[in-house]
Amino acid sequence: MSNLPTPHNSALQGEIAKTVIMPGDPLRAKFIADNYLEDVKCFNKVRNMLGFTGKYKEKEISVMGGGMGIPSVGIYTYELYKFYNVENIIRVGTAGGIGENIKLRDVVIGMGACTDSNYSSQYQLPGIFAPIASYELMEKAVEVSKKLNIKTVVGNILSTDIFYNEDETVLQRWKDMGVLAVEMEAAVLYMNAAKLGKKALCLLTISDCPLQNLSLSSEERQVGFTDMMKIALELS
């Protein structure tokens, strides 16, 4: 294809699998490739946003970093869907738990993603678009988590553009609307998937509960990440 490689991805056609697992941190992508995949090949090093393709239980799967925030993930996921014929993108990351019964280490499956981003304005819709996950991927994730005896909570999450918000009441107000957790990327992933007719899902490990001033240590975060990855890998 004439679009390949893109300014952000040096992969050629066929070097990226139909399913991509996407953490934010490119070094986390390398960790996944090194510890979970076999016959691994690196397909991207542009801007150090590492991407790898390998096999998990004989199935081809890719893993690639997406960066932080909606603009970054918006670029990488759009290119994967549009130019590399990727069908499924599964975001895996950490999040702040704000829901009433959300606890540290819980795995949250983002059924929908509220957002304060202006990303959807490009579509010029006569209303507010509601970004949602692929039901097929979400249903399978729930089934897999039950088989693996991993606790998951399914519901609405928040994808915010603001990490350090001057308004300290914001999270409480989202909590009052039943939002379970806050992160910074899922909404754009869901919007790109909707626009391009693809599938997307966001899996989140609760690493802190900002309204309660609770957080996991780096070692504890790694355990939670492992549980989340067990679910994501079975969706390929």
Active site residue 39: no
Contacts of 22 (CB under 8 A, 6+ apart): 29, 63, 64, 65, 66, 73, 76, 77, 89, 90, 91, 92, 189
* 193 and 81 Cβ atoms separated by less than 8 Å: yes
* Residue 18 DSSP code: S
SS in 3 state form for 89-119? EEEEEEEEECCCCCCCCCEEEEEEEEECCCH
Per-residue pLDDT of the chain (236 residues; tens, 9 = 90+): 467 899 999 999 999 999 999 999 999 999 999 999 999 999 999 999 999 999 999 999 999 999 999 999 999 999 999 999 999 999 999 999 999 999 999 999 999 999 999 999 999 999 999 999 999 999 999 999 999 999 999 999 999 999 999 999 999 999 999 999 999 999 999 999 999 999 999 999 999 999 999 999 877 776 668 999 999 999 98
| Whether this model's pTM surpasses 0.95 | yes
Which residue segments constitute the domains of the chain, with CATH numbers given? Answer: 19-233 (3.40.50.1580)
